[in-house]
Structure 1
Amino acid sequence: MTTRRWLTVLLLTMTAIVLLGGGAGAAALRHTAGVSNHLADRIAPARTAVGQLDSGLLAQAAAVRGHVVTADPRFLDSYRQGVEGERTTMSRLRVLLADEPEALGDLERARRLADRWRAEFAERLIASRQAGATPQELAPLVTGDAQTFAAVRAELTGLVGRLDGIRDAGRDDLDAARALRDLTFVAILAALLVCGIVGSVLVRTRVLRPLDRLGASVRQVAGGDFRHRLRPDGPADIARLTSDVETMRRAVVEAWERSQHDRDALEQQADELRRSNEDLEQFAYVASHDLQEPLRKVASFCQMLERRYADQLDDRARQYIGFAVDGASRMQELINDLLTFSRIGRVYGDEREVDLAEVFAQAEANLSRAVEESGATIDRDPLPTVRGEPTLLTMLWQNLLGNAVKFRSPDRAPRIRVTVTDTAQGWSFAVEDNGIGIDPRYAEKIFVIFQRLHPRGAYPGTGIGLAVCKKVVEYHGGTLSLDEAYRDGTRFVFTLPRVPAAVVPGQPGQPAEESAAGV
């Protein structure tokens, strides 16, 4: 059973006890009220009415004797009023004693005796006195009614005794009903108390203890004992909760073991990366010294050969020597460009607040001769301040502006426009020109190192400029792309964040050694 079902059963049991006890208590209260109302509303008024009947009969008898003695008609009025009062009281007693047949029988016998007394004695005495009989003549008749009148009063006395007996029995019944009522309510309270105690024990043993054990196990696991197993216990829902927590523990343990394995693999990769960086450093040293020295010798000796034996060489030989010198020079240029590309993020690391207007001006100054010869015009929006490496940002502007000047249209002067947009992600820059443009098919190829879209003799350079730009932008946590929808020349769009991006190995903005390792 679940905790909810345990509590539901307990609440239903307490509700049933309250309802049953309430019904029994209500029945006891109704019985008590009925007995009390019967005594107060019927028996007590009936007993008072019987006393009034007895007093009324005595008043009737006194009025008859007074009339016999004095012949005063006022006694007759008293007599008649007594008779009417007796009848009214009789009617009232019949209503009050409707559920007491024995008392009604006594009342009817008393009524018949009273009617007999009035018919045989009272009415005869009154008639005889009104006919002129003297009190002395009527004395025997007055004396003769005493026996009948005493019988009437004896019957009324018996009725009073019966009513007293009914009253005493009703009081005993009332006491018993009150005792039953009190016992019922005490039993209800005792049952509720027992249910409360049982419920408390059940909650403690079936709910709280399993929860305490579950909490202790969870704390033990949270403390680092991931191998500690949680065993289901208690009601079904708590057992299910324990099973769910155990499943979660197993998933966490499996994830932790996987993370341990991944961490070991990552540490191994880091070691390999360090070794690769060391090899790259060695390569950079060799490329900057050992590789360029033979190239310089080849170029210089070829030139010396051409000067010393100029009169002995034909045009074909001079052409071959020119090819050799040009090849050595291009090899040196490629090596220098490759070194420049590999140093991005590895050698240049002086990050600080950089005013882009200043580095842009430096790039313009570096390109001043090419700009002047081409007649190019450069317009720009006000440039913001970002956090970055000044040399790399200068290199970025210089390559983008230099490409715009280099790949200009032959029939018009270059016009370069630099725009800046403040976005929710950071700063967005656009460099557009009116040059020869780039086919959208090569939108990705142009950023690959040493990739060229034109023959070597058409335009100078090694094809590394845009690859350098992309690496500089990604080092600063931004992106660089070609606007393929732009048709009036070339338009490059790149972004720079307002704050440094998080440095994650293998992602844009990676550390120097990892950037160099990926060359």
Structure 2
Amino acid sequence: MSEPTLTNREFLSIVSHDLRTPIRQLSQFSQMLAATIDDLTGQQQQLVEFIEASSKSCTEIMDALDNLSHIRPPGNEVQPVDVVLCFKSALGAAIAQLDTAPHICIADRHTELPVMNHTHAKTILDCLVDNAIKFRHPDRELEISFSTASDQNGCSFEITDNGSGIAESFIGQCKTIFKKYDRNSAGPGLGLTLVDHIIALYGGLLSIQSNERTVGTTVKITIPFDKGQLNMSDNLLNTG
């Protein structure tokens, strides 16, 4: 999937900006109603909660559209990125929403570091960790594994969870904007679209392995090597 064109970026940015204020005001109005009216009927309370939930959902969509509209080629703002640290940072922020901390396994093979824009790497890991938590299975303790590797194709890292899984017939549609496997799931359905746009800037590869009849999903990111890119040893030799 290619980078959004200028026209698309402008459209996404305008939509996000122009909708944000009225939706925020609607949310504030519903909160004011709940705070100032002591004796809301059951139906009125349900309506207030519905407005709040809808406002939150719209805000999530606008945030995702805003992120999508601001994707830019990395240019010269690239460096070897420690994706393990990015994963740990994303995990720390995400598990705050859980009552029970997930079981985490990290297999860092200390291979070459992917050379990328740090914000791009952070956005990718934030999206993938969020998906792993969002689609956890209700009857299993959440497990998330993270691993790194490198070969002739470049540097790769992957996240595996033991969640609900995805039907094989749907995997090809996962990167389509607003396409959601479960219409009842939280979020706007833009996470993998955003990841795919970023990976495309590097000529990289996003692969997904899952099956709803088995346990969990594995998402693998591969960033190809480029001439002049630094690997870990080069970086260490050139410091200090």
TM value normalised by structure 1: 0.38
Q: Deviations over 1:4-56 (max 9, x none)?
A: xxxxxxxxxxxxxxxxxxxxxxxxxxxxxxxxxxxxxxxxxxxxxxxxxxxxx
1:483 maps to amino acid: Q
| Higher normalized contact order (CA 8 Å, seq sep 6+, divided by chain length) | 2
Aligned length: 222
| Deviation of 1:483 (Å) | 1.9
2:188 maps to amino acid: T
Q: Which runs of 5+ in 1 are unaligned?
A: 1-272, 501-519
| Deviation of 1:297 (Å) | 1.5
Q: Aligned to 2:202, which of 469, 476, 480? A: 476
Query: 2:21 aligns to what?
Result: 293
| Deviation of 1:496 (Å) | 0.8
TM value normalised by structure 2: 0.77
| Deviation of 1:336 (Å) | 1.1
Whether the 8 Å contact between 2:211 and 2:217 is mirrored in structure 1 is no
| Deviation of 1:371 (Å) | 6.8
Query: 1:284 aligns to what?
Result: 13
SS at match of 1:437: coil
Query: 2:109 aligns to what?
Result: 382
Q: Aligned to 2:144, which of 416, 440, 450? A: 416
Give 1:118-517 correspondences, 5 Å limit: 276=7, 280-281=9-10, 284-285=13-14, 287-288=16-17, 290-311=18-39, 313-345=40-72, 350-370=77-97, 373-383=100-110, 384-456=112-184, 459-484=185-210, 487-499=214-226
Structure number with higher strand proportion: 2
Q: Deviations over 1:123-166 (max 9, x none)?
A: xxxxxxxxxxxxxxxxxxxxxxxxxxxxxxxxxxxxxxxxxxxx
1:439 maps to amino acid: A
C-alpha distance in 1, partners of 2:43/2:75? 46
C-alpha distance in 1, partners of 2:189/2:219? 16
1:406 maps to amino acid: K
Q: Which runs of 5+ in 2 are unaligned?
A: 228-240
Structure number with higher helix proportion: 1
Q: 1:410 to 1:325 in 2, by over 3 A?
A: closer
C-alpha distance in 1, partners of 2:159/2:102? 18
2:60 maps to amino acid: E
Q: 1:437 to 1:485 in 2, by over 3 A?
A: closer
Whether the 8 Å contact between 1:299 and 1:325 is mirrored in structure 2 is yes
Structure number with bigger Rg: 1
C-alpha distance in 2, partners of 1:412/1:352? 38
Whether the 8 Å contact between 1:348 and 1:392 is mirrored in structure 2 is no
2:116 maps to amino acid: G
C-alpha distance in 1, partners of 2:37/2:211? 57
2:10 maps to amino acid: E
SS at match of 1:367: helix
| Deviation of 1:379 (Å) | 2.2
Whether the 8 Å contact between 2:84 and 2:108 is mirrored in structure 1 is no
C-alpha distance in 1, partners of 2:55/2:140? 35
Whether the 8 Å contact between 2:210 and 2:216 is mirrored in structure 1 is no
| Deviation of 1:372 (Å) | 7.3
2:71 maps to amino acid: I
